[in-house]
Amino acid sequence: MIENSMFEEEPDVVDLAKEPCLHPLEPDEAEYEPRSSRLLVRGLGEHEMDDDEEDYESSAKLLGMSFMNRSSGLRSNMSVYRQNPNGSCSVLSIRTVVVCIAVFAIVISLILAIYLLPTCTFTKEGCHKKNHTMELIYPLATNGKLFPWAKIRLPSDVVPLHYDLVLQPNLTTLKFSGSVKIVVNIIQVTWKIILHSSGLNITNVTITSARGHEPKRVEFLEYPLHDQIAVMAPEALLVGQNYTVNIEYSSNLSDTYYGFYKISYKDENSTQRWFAATQFEPLAARSAFPCFDEPAFKATFLIKIRRDEKLSTLSNMPKKATTPVTDGIVQDEFIVSLKMSTYLVAFVVADLKNISRETNDSLVSVYAIPQHLNQVEYALNTAVKLLEFYQKYFLITYPLQKLDLVAIPDFQSGAMENWGLITFRETTLLFDNNTSSARDKKLITAVIAHELAHQWFGNLVTMEWWNDLWLNEGFATFMEYFAMEEVFPELHSDEDFLNLIFKAMMKDSLNSSHPVSSAVQSSEQIQEMFDAVSYIKGASLLLMLKHYLSKDVFQAGIEIYLHNHKYGSAQSDDLWDSMNEITNGTLDVKKLMKTWILHKGFPLVTVVRKGKIISIQQEKFLYRVEPENWTSDASYLWHIPLTYITSSCNLTHCTNACLLDQKSAVIELPEEVEWIKFNVDMNGYYIVHYSEDWKTLIDLLKKNHTALSPKDRANLINNIFSLASLGKESLEKAFELIDYLNKENSTAPLTQALFQLSLIYSLLEKNGEQQLAERVMHRIDHLLGNKIDQQSWTDDGTLSERELRSMLLAFACTHDMRNCRTAATEMFEKWMKSNGTASLPSDVMKAVFTAGAKSSDGWEFLLKMYSSSVSEAEKSKMIEALASTDDVRKLIRLMQNSLEEEVIRAQEISHIVATVSQSLPGYLLAWDFVKENWEKLTRKFHLGSYTIQNIISCSTSQFATKAHLLEVKSFFESKSEETSQLRCVKEAIDTIQLNIQWMERNVAKLRELL
């Protein structure tokens, strides 16, 4: 595990008074920062200097120039030591000696002056002679005084124990006021308490000692660049003592999706109502109340909220009492919470209705606005089942007396795991029996399973810092799919997980990827950790470990981890140590897993079979575009738990396993076999290349495809197309492998094949190869046309069959295959004539809406129905259909409408941009929209957030020309440095470069092939 000390940020200015100098300063070690950088260090923005500051800046520059000019003058004055013609030196005149002494004195003075300038930065080693010390240069607070802390991370000399928080939101003025009393304990003697505050108008701060003296009003300083305040104590705060800091403040309810934010919605009478809710993860608790806003600073919370008596409030804990405050205003007090991180604190103020059920001494409730109460029953039943399963699996009882699940009308994420008060986007919690499809049911179940898993992984045990976010999100994702397989096997959720792994590997194969556990400091870096690597790769590695250790050993390791660290924080090593307690020396789990979490990417395993001898070799799978830009990993070794099956498989023994911890190895089989397939059911996070054996596997699929499981078949399709993109295999062989698909009936391989072919089709269509793209579509029609014809326009069949029908018909109607659009248009017109009252089968609703939206009248009717629909599942399908039109003006109108939140909420903007980007008329429009509205988008959604990541990725992923590459690079470089350095921007650039490379390599080959 990389310790924190290995990636601590450099201080803004080195504290030379505390660190003894190791080397004298060399001239090139004194570095002048750019003007904007110097101002930021001192606590000011680019344009926030007053006249005195400007003079100070100018003086620094003049002194620096003077020093350089004098230095060059000194060199030219060396001519005083002129040689005589005979080679001897002439004697110095008194005048020369005086001049030299004067110049030397001036130089020394200037060096001292430059040392003391606050706008200079020096190397970490410092530069002073014995007994010479330097003053630490701190940044400037907003009032012009020195702010006593220069790092992004808070100091560890003070820790919070308990918060008393009182809030009064006003849903008429859309403002709130608050006060917080924080009991802190002193770890190291100090005169200051540094904590977080963002956008709060602080009016009063006092400190009270544990001995109960009167509160003393104290000075506080603010440093907005790091969202920090410093409470300056009147006397030294003593080690081991507790003090209470009381802060009074006010602010506006946020108009973004972060912090304590406002939401408007229409009630049953179409009257506008207001709703206030919180979203604190990762860094927004500080914008609702001053706090120690880092995950390791756990404390208990007593929350009181004052509200209009007609509204209701919810928080993490059950309500203790409600008391009147003034006319029409009451105060709800909640019982004291368990120890938890600030990002898990939550509260909601709204007019809500609920249904409830008790299980294992905990009351489970699902809340929604009144008109949606009839859509919450499925969520309640699902939550109760999953809560019971997790308690049995972890052997730890859910520790709170209640669990609330709340549908929020406007919510950026899918859901948020706040302890005891989980908040959801309405589409991920509400199930409408008339309009929710099989796919919708699976989505709701998955999101609830994910957030309930967090009540243990994340809430009970929390990652120490955001570099190990995967301990929260990877585990919750893993448990989500594991729990669904155990509790709801009919949903076949493992097939969805498989497709997510394939998509995560596409990102992880780029040079712009990152290790699962990565050093992060800035808010943008922290936001960007919420990505496919932390969630899906993290979960995949746990799946691989579970299969390698066995399910019982893995479960026992998890139980130890949770028991050892409950109500505390953990790092990755703590998990491996817990697993090692169970393996007891038979396997070093830490050694094995460090090769996976501390290194980006994944291995490519090449298999060569000769008789009974199987030669295997590992290397890094990496798409290399510009050799000078990619990181070499030739020497890197993963410890790979390999699994394989052969044609000799029998009922008693099928799967074999071995550990590849060297560059290459040899496996000797007991007998010769007809075929061998590695990475059984894709339970390992690696890709396999079969060299000459691809032909054998292709023949197997043609003759007897059911000899392999559906997941193994999907795995082969994914691997051969990935290898074709890498240049290790031919596209011809990839197309040959999927020739068997007309016999395929399972969702996983059909989904993967359709995904791979759609990528090729889209790339060709958007880059001037429409004729070739049509040939690809013809091939898809040849492979899947009969399958499409067999689909009925109903909701009949198993859940898996219904989901496959939904996918195939939506694809066929989008691309006008067979008679899909004709049949769907007829259904849409009947629905339109009934003014939307006729029922449509939920599984084919998206296909019907997509066909209907192709006509101008149909599109306008769909938009009208969207604004009046009370089913979020139905509205989600309408959004996708509206964004699939070929009418450019309507696409622009739709994207603008969502951004301005006229009819469609801004929470949908990412979904809309993604859908618009997929069509030929829309893909350039989507990019233009992003460019023109960049400032608005990044104000609404934070830089680095998953929404921004998704918008950047979707709006650029179809580009495959050098002109577009230059345009995308130039656009992001023209923005802030933080923007150009975003990982998702680098990923977008990598993707365009790969698209260019793919087109250059494959267009000619495809013309021959098709």
Residues marked active site are found at 451
What is the three-class DSSP state of 322? strand
Q: For 628, what's the count of Cα atoms within 13 Å in the CB-facing half-sphere? A: 0
Q: Which residues contact 591 (CB under 8 A, 6 or more apart)?
A: 639
Pairing of strands 158-170, 216-217: unpaired
Per-residue three-class SS string for 59-73:
HHHHHHHHHHHHHHH
DSSP state of 764: H
DSSP element (H, E) containing 930: helix 923-932
Do 964 and 926 contact (CB within 8 A), yes or no? no
* Interatomic CA distance for residues 96 and 109, integer angstroms: 20
Helix-strand-coil percent breakdown of the chain, rounded to 5? 45, 20, 35
Q: CA of 280: how far to CAs of 413, 504, 529, 759, 792, in Å?
A: 12, 26, 16, 36, 45
Q: How far apart are the first and last CA of the chain?
A: 50
The two tokens of residue 300 are 């208990």
* Interatomic CA distance for residues 350 and 276, integer angstroms: 6
Pairing of strands 120-121, 158-170: unpaired
Do 351 and 390 contact (CB within 8 A), yes or no? no
φ/ψ region of 964 (left if φ > 0, alpha if ψ in -120 to 50, else beta) reads alpha
Do 642 and 708 contact (CB within 8 A), yes or no? no
* Interatomic CA distance for residues 278 and 417, integer angstroms: 12
Number of residues in the chain: 1010
CB neighbour burial string for 905-919, b if at least 16 within 10 angstroms, e if fewer: bbbbbbbbbbbbbbb
Do 884 and 814 contact (CB within 8 A), yes or no? yes
* Interatomic CA distance for residues 295 and 466, integer angstroms: 8
Number of helices (H), then strands (E), in the chain: 31, 31
* Interatomic CA distance for residues 293 and 283, integer angstroms: 7
Residue 937 has phi, psi (to 5 degrees) of -65, -45
* Interatomic CA distance for residues 288 and 163, integer angstroms: 13
Cα–Cα nearest to 49, from 62, 36, 61, 33: 36
* Interatomic CA distance for residues 163 and 793, integer angstroms: 57
Identify each DSSP E strand in 138-269 by its residue range.
158-170, 175-186, 190-196, 201-209, 216-217, 219-223, 228-237, 242-252, 259-266
Q: Which residues contact 932 (CB under 8 A, 6 or more apart)?
A: none
* Interatomic CA distance for residues 952 and 246, integer angstroms: 43
Q: For 880, what's the count of Cα atoms within 13 Å in the CB-facing half-sphere? A: 17
The two tokens of residue 329 are 């205003």
